[in-house]
A and B are shown apart, each in its own frame.
Chain A
C-alpha cells in the first residue's frame, strides 16, 4: 500500500478516497464475479462437448463393429466402397445418423430449430 502512495502521491487516499476506491472496487468485483460465473458455464459447455464427442465416437465404433460382423457373414468378404446398411434399421436411429459425413457436418444441426 505504501508503494501505491509512492507512485501515486496525487491520489487523495484519505477518508474520502477510501469510499471512492471502495465504490470502484465494487464495480470491478461485480465484473469478476460475473466472469467467474461465465467461466463455470464455459467449463460445463466444454465438458458437454467432450461428452458428445465421446458418445459419437462410441456410437461410430459400435456401428463399425456391426459392419464388420455383417461383412464376415457375406462370403465375398473384402471392403466395399460404403458400409452396408444393416445398421440403419428404423429402430436404430443413432447408428443411422452417424454415417461417415454426417457426424462431422455439424452445419446441418446448426440451422435446424426443433422445439428445445
Chain B
C-alpha cells in the first residue's frame, strides 16, 4: 500500500470562488448579453443550462470509467473512490439535464417528452444504465470485490456512452428541426460565447463538488484509521454494508 496521503481539500476554496464567479458571469450573459433566439425566443435560454449539464454529466461518466481503469491497474482503492464520486455526481447532473430537457420539450413542443429528439433518448438510456451502479455496489458485500466489479461496470458503461449515442442518433428520423447540436455549429457568436462560459461554469461546478465530496470521504476514512491506530482494531465499529467505497 502506498503511504502517500492525498488531501483533496487543497485548492478547494480557490476553485469554489472561481466557480462562483464563472457561474455568475454565465448567468449574467445568459439573461443580459445573449440575444433572443429568432425561432424560440426566451425559451431558448434553457439551452444554456440544459446542454452544459448534459455534456458535463456524460464526460463525468466517461471520467468515472477512466478512474476505474486506474483501479483495475493499481488495485488502489482511492481510484475506486474517485470513480464512485464521479459517477454519482454525474448521475445528479444527468437527472438535472433530463428534467431541464423535459421542461424545454414541454415549452417548445408542447410535450413533456419527445421521442424524436435522439440526444434526449440516448441520454435517458445512459442515465438508466448508471442508475444500476449503486444497486450493483450495494449487493456485493466484500469491499474488495465490490470495488473490482464496480470498476468493471464503470469501464463498460463508460465505453457504452458514445456507442449508445451513435446507435440512437442513427435510429431517429429528424421530425423536428434540430435547434441544437452538441457542437453548437449553427449558433451565432454571442450565443456560442455564452454557451461556452456556461459549459465551463458547470464543468467547474462538477470539479468543485467532486473535490468537496472526495475531501469529505477522505476525512471520514482518516477518522476511521485514526480510531484504529489509537484504540486498536477492536474499537472500530464494523462498517455497515454500504454502496460507497470506504
Contact = CB atoms under 8 A, between A and B. Distances in A.
- Touching in the complex, A and B, CB below 8 A? yes
Interface of A: 11-12, 16-17, 19-20, 22-24, 26-27, 30-31, 33-34, 38, 41-42, 44-45, 48-49, 52, 55-56, 59, 93-94, 97-98, 102-103, 106, 108-116
A19 B226 contact: no
A103 B221 CA distance: 17
Contact of B230 (A17, A44, A102, A113): A102
B35 interface: no
Interface of B: 1-5, 31, 41-43, 45-46, 49-50, 53, 77, 92-93, 95-96, 99-100, 103-104, 106-107, 143, 205, 209, 212-213, 216, 219-235, 246
A33 B209 CA distance: 13
* 9 smallest beta-carbon distances between A and B, as pairs: A19-B107, A93-B232, A109-B229, A16-B42, A23-B100, A109-B226, A113-B1, A23-B46, A94-B232
Given A24-B49, A27-B100, A97 B232 contact: yes
A45 B92 contact: no
17 contacts: A11-B31, A12-B42, A20-B43, A23-B46, A23-B49, A38-B213, A93-B234, A94-B234, A94-B235, A97-B229, A109-B225, A109-B226, A109-B230, A113-B225, A114-B228, A115-B1, A116-B143
A52 B231 CA distance: 9
Given A45-B220, A98-B231, 10 more contacts: A23-B103, A26-B96, A38-B212, A38-B213, A55-B235, A59-B231, A97-B229, A103-B230, A109-B228, A113-B5
Contacts of A17: 42
